[in-house]
Amino acid sequence: MTVDSHHPRPVILGQNQYGKAENRVVRITRDGDTHHIKDLNVSVALSGDMDDVHYSGSNANVLPTDTTKNTVYAFAKEHGIESAEQFGIHLARHFVTGQEPIHQARIRIEEYAWERIETSDSNSGLNGADEVKHSFVRRGQETRVAQITFDGEKWQVISGLKDLTVMNSTNSEFWGYVKDKYTTLPESYDRILATEVSAKWRYSWSSDEERMPNWDTSYAQAKKHMLQAFAETYSLSLQQSLYQMGSRIINSLGEIDEIRFSLPNKHHFLVDLEPFGLKNDTAEGAVYFAADRPYGLIEATVLRDGVEPQIPVDTTNL
């Protein structure tokens, strides 16, 4: 930070970063007739010795954002895309070690999953055995996210997911809460619990000296544990479910130290059908109004005892 000498009342430049956001890169690899696809949205943010470009407009230390875009595409060819995390590590290392004024690089990646289209030989005049190998349908469930940060020495890798909507149609209650003069909510002993999971977990891996996790295996395991913990928790509050989801991941996956959840409570209100002479009873199967806004929003960090929390509290989606 540097004093701006051009103004009578001094003004300071604080934290700053720049880069090209949302580079949409698709990488096809061919293994004989069998094709594989990686579909990413990559955002680059660089920071370092950037005072001059803010104070005077001198771009002498500025690698253009257009160049960071080109690098993403070139690296997808040169290094391939083994996983979102590994690809981010290649990019971050390149920017920090390749340009002296750049002291830190943060790569954010969204990944979209595809599955193969199943074809049937009987419907096809072609050789059915080949043709399925290059045809895909977008899976459409959660979006996988990753954030890789490197300052030339230490690595920080945060992975996660968003847009994963889950529901328990029973085994959820809500009662025994504080009641003040503005409280009108009736207690509930059998309600729907639904949320759209946004989760980010941080790996303990932080140095090239350490053994790197298997990013894809860890992702699959973390998602599985999270879903199972949600399903298997008899829930007295969404906070309790959140904690169970987080602690099961921390307890099951030694490579993960910390996880942050943002869980909107997707309210499903039991519709009052009594005016129409109908009993809308959960025990018999009921009818709900799925509300949009407002919604409860439950956010918390769950972490391994003894580690320092590092995931920011109110970040944008990675």
Q: Which of residues 247-306 bind its own copies (CB under 8 A)?
A: 247-248, 250-251, 258, 260, 264-265, 268, 271, 273, 275-276, 278, 280, 282-305
Q: H or E element: which one contains 52?
A: helix 51-55
Q: Which residues contact 278 (CB under 8 A, 6 or more apart)?
A: none
Strands 155-168 and 143-150 come out as antiparallel
* Shortest Å, Cβ 29 to its own copies: 4
**Measured distance CA(273)–CA(290) in Å, rounded:** 15
Strands 114-116 and 102-111 come out as unpaired
Stretch 118-147 residues interacting with its own copies (CB under 8 A):
118-120, 123-124, 126, 128, 131-132, 134-142
In the annotation, is 65 catalytic?
yes
Would you say how long the chain is, in residues? 318
Residue of 82, 97, 98, 217 interacting with its own copies (CB under 8 A): 98
* Shortest Å, Cβ 40 to its own copies: 9
Q: Which of 90/268 has CB closer to its own copies?
A: 268
Instruction: Catalytic residue, from 35, 36, 65, 301: name it.
Output: 65
Is 65 a binding residue for its own copies by CB under 8 A? The answer is yes
Stretch 14-53 residues interacting with its own copies (CB under 8 A):
14-30, 35, 37, 39, 43, 45, 50, 53
* Shortest Å, Cβ 98 to its own copies: 7
In the annotation, is 67 catalytic?
no
Stretch 194-223 residues interacting with its own copies (CB under 8 A):
none
* Shortest Å, Cβ 307 to its own copies: 8
Q: Which of 155/261 has CB closer to its own copies?
A: 261
In the annotation, is 267 catalytic?
yes
Size of the site for its own copies (CB under 8 A): 161
Instruction: At 245, list the tokens.
Output: 């989801």
Residue of 32, 180, 189, 207 interacting with its own copies (CB under 8 A): 180
Residue of 167, 204, 212, 216 interacting with its own copies (CB under 8 A): 167
Instruction: At 202, list the tokens.
Output: 């941080």
Nearest to 109 by CA among 23, 27, 208, 48: 23
Axis-axis angle for helices 215-232, 84-98 (nearest 10): 130
Angle at alpha carbon of residue 95, lines to 92 and 97, rounded to 5° = 100
Q: Which residues contact 303 (CB under 8 A, 6 or more apart)?
A: 250, 257, 258, 259, 309
Instruction: At 303, list the tokens.
Output: 């972490």
Catalytic (active-site) positions: 20, 65, 267
